[in-house]
């Protein structure tokens, strides 16, 4: 699973492993497996995911995501690899400390290569197509549990060809309730914190219940238990093993 990653990971540094199922209108279309590692020297966290997706044409899309954050949960290196048939792309985001910016690199199976420098705010997140690392931004700054919180997300739109450099967008997140929700995961009863995520252009005055994504978040390394959207998509944790408990 980790041949494609930017570095070799040690089994003894693995602190979580798990899997997600992806369903749309009760029909399964993808599955993700992931591992989380912690570097004991610099306290950084490394999320490594692989997802297999059945696309509408019947083809199989393979996604690889490596997501590295420092102890403040700010992205330091993100790798996104996509493979389908003869097509493949690899996108890399690398934080350059001395210049306080990200170096974005795109390369595809045709040999096309593009490099872009992207200025960043002190707190930011990089969007990827997998679930395990999707909520890391929540740990990057203090959260107001009684209000709406804005987060800076870098979003890319390149698929098999380079079109443009990724751009920053804002999302709005709020607690859906002050009490924890109970769930049953792989035969175990767990508690989750419920959130609602909105688009930055949401008009809360005009619409009483605006479109949103519902997230049930675990207590473990900002890994979600469940993500639900208004179009009938549900991403559900299949299992989550805390390997640090065995130490």
**pLDDT tens column, 215-243:** 999 999 999 999 999 999 999 999 999 99
Which residue from 51, 64, 84, 68 is spatially nearest to 4, judged by alpha carbons?
A: 64
pLDDT tens, residue by residue, 52-74: 999 988 999 999 999 999 999 99
Alpha-carbon distance of 199 to 211, in angstroms, equals 8
Rg (CA), the chain: 18
What residues have CB less than 8 Å from 97, skipping those under 6 apart?
none
The per-residue pLDDT for 245 is 63
What whole-number distance in Å separates Cα of residue 41 and Cα of residue 78?
A: 20
To 5 degrees, how large is the angle CA 140–CA 46–CA 221?
50
Condensed to tens digits (0 to 9), the pLDDT of residues 177-186 reads 878 889 888 7
Residue 107 lies in a domain: yes
Q: Are strands 125-126 and 149-155 parallel, antiparallel or unpaired?
A: parallel
Q: Are 52 and 84 within 8 A, CB to CB?
A: no
Q: Within a domain: residue 90?
A: yes
User: Is 80 exceeded by the pLDDT of residue 247?
Assistant: no
Answer yes or no: are the C-beta atoms of 118 and 165 closer than 8 Å.
yes
pLDDT band per the 50, 70, 90 thresholds, residue 159: very high
What is the average pLDDT score of the chain? 93
Q: Is the pLDDT of residue 2 over 60?
A: no
152 part of a folded domain: yes
Q: Which residues contact 126 (CB under 8 A, 6 or more apart)?
A: 67, 75, 78, 93, 102, 153, 154, 166
Check pLDDT > 60 for residue 1.
no
Q: What mean pLDDT comes out for the span 76-97?
A: 96
Is 124 domain-assigned?
yes
At 30 the pLDDT is 97
Provide the percentage of residues in the chain whose pLDDT is more than 70.
Answer: 98
- Is residue 117 one of the residues assigned to a domain? yes
Give how many domains the chain has, as a whole number: 1
Residue 89: pLDDT band (50, 70, 90) is very high
Using alpha carbons, select from 195, 196, 173, 193 the residue that is nearest to residue 183.
193
Structure tokens at 79: 């790798």
Handedness of CA 94, 99, 100, 104 (dihedral sign): negative
Tell me which residue range forms the domain holding 72: 11-246
Q: Is residue 6 one of the residues assigned to a domain? A: no
Does residue 3 belong to any structural domain of this protein?
no
- What does the pLDDT read at residue 206? 83
pLDDT of residue 101: 93
Q: What is the pLDDT of residues 128-145, one digit of tens each?
A: 999 999 999 999 999 998
Residues 68 and 75: beta-carbon distance below 8 Å: yes
Within-domain flag for 2: no
């Amino acid at each position: 699973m980790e041949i494609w990653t930017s570095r070799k990971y040690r089994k003894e540094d693995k602190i979580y492993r798990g899997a997600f199922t992806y369903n749309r209108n009760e029909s399964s279309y993808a599955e993700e497996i992931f591992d989380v590692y912690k570097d004991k020297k610099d306290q950084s966290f490394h999320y490594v995911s692989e997802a297999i997706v059945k696309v509408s044409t019947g083809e199989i899309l393979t996604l690889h995501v490596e997501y590295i954050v420092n102890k403040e949960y700010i992205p330091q290196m993100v790798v996104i690899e996509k493979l389908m048939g003869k097509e493949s792309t690899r996108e890399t985001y690398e934080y350059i400390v001395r210049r306080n910016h990200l170096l974005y690199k795109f390369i595809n199976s045709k040999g096309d290569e593009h490099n872009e420098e992207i200025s960043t705010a002190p707190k930011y997140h990089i969007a990827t197509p997998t679930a395990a690392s999707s909520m890391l931004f929540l740990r990057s700054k203090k959260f107001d549990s009684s209000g709406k919180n804005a987060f800076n997300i870098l979003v890319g739109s390149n698929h098999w060809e380079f079109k443009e450099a990724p751009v920053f967008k804002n999302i709005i997140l709020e607690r859906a309730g002050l009490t924890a929700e109970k769930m049953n995961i792989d035969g175990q009863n767990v508690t989750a914190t419920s959130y609602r995520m909105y688009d930055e252009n949401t008009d809360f005055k005009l619409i009483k219940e605006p479109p949103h994504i519902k997230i049930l978040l675990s207590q473990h390394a900002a890994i979600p238990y469940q993500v639900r959207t208004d179009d009938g998509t549900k991403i559900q944790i299949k299992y989550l093993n805390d390997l640090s408990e065995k130490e």
